[in-house]
Structure 1
Amino acid sequence: MALTHLYQQINQSEWVDIPTGWLQGRTIFGGLVAGMLMQKAVASIADDSKRLLSVSITFVGPVQLAKAKLTAEILRQGKSVTTVEVRLWQDDAVQSILLASFGTQRESSIQVNQECTAPDYPSVEQLKIAQHHPLAPECFKQMQMIWAEGQYPCTGAKSPDFGGWFRFDPAQHENRPMHDADLMVAFDMWPPGVLPMYKTMAPASSLNWHLTCVHPLQAELQDWLKYKVFTDYAGDGYATESAYLWDANNRLIAISRQTVTVFA
Structure 2
Amino acid sequence: MSIASLIDPVTAAGGPANLSRADAWMQGRTLYGGASALVAYTAAVRAFPDLPPLRAAQVAFVAPVGGEIELKREIVRQGRNVAQVRSEIWCEGACALTAFWLFGTAREPNAVHPAAEPNDWPGAPEDAEPVMTDKGPAFIRNFDLRRAQDERGPGAPVVRRWARLTEQGVLNHISELILMGDVLPPGAMRAMQRQGPVSSINWSFNVLDAAPVTRDGWWLSENASQHADHGYSSERLRLWNADGRQMLEGMQAAAIFG
Residues 50-74 of structure 1, C-alpha deviation per residue, up to 9 Å, x if partnerless? 111100001111112x211111010
Q: Quick check: 1:257 aligned with 2:251?
A: yes
Query: Which position in structure 2 is the counterpart of 1:42?
Result: 45
Tell me by how many angstroms 1:198 deviates. Answer: 3.6
Tell me by how many angstroms 1:201 deviates. Answer: 4.1
Tell me by how many angstroms 1:191 deviates. Answer: 0.9
Query: Which position in structure 2 is the counterpart of 1:163?
Result: 160
Residues 136-195 of structure 1, C-alpha deviation per residue, up to 9 Å, x if partnerless? 21111111111211545xx4x0321121211001xxx24245343322111111111111
Query: Which position in structure 1 is the counterpart of 2:98?
Result: 97
RMSD of aligned Cα (Å): 2.1
1 CA distance for matches of 2:257 and 2:211? 34
Query: Which position in structure 2 is the counterpart of 1:51?
Result: 53
2 CA distance for matches of 1:98 and 1:242? 19
2 CA distance for matches of 1:138 and 1:177? 20
2 CA distance for matches of 1:71 and 1:179? 24
- Please identify runs of 4+ aligned residues in structure 1 that moved more than 4 A: none
Query: Which position in structure 2 is the counterpart of 1:238?
Result: 232
Change in CA separation of 1:55 and 1:178 when aligned onto 2, cut-off 3 Å:
same
1 CA distance for matches of 2:2 and 2:134? 23
Partner of residue 204 from structure 1, selected from 184, 198, 204: 198
Larger mean CA deviation between 214-223 and 231-240 belongs to 214-223
After superposition, residues 211-230 of structure 1 pair within 5 angstroms as: 211-219=205-213, 223-230=217-224
> What stretches of structure 1 of length at least 5 have no aligned partner?
none
8 Å Cα contact 1:168/1:222 also seen in 2: no
Tell me by how many angstroms 1:224 deviates. Answer: 0.7
1 CA distance for matches of 2:215 and 2:17? 23
Tell me by how many angstroms 1:204 deviates. Answer: 0.7
Q: What is the aligned length?
A: 254
8 Å Cα contact 1:229/1:243 also seen in 2: yes
2 CA distance for matches of 1:100 and 1:109? 24
**Normalization by structure 1: what TM-score?**
0.88
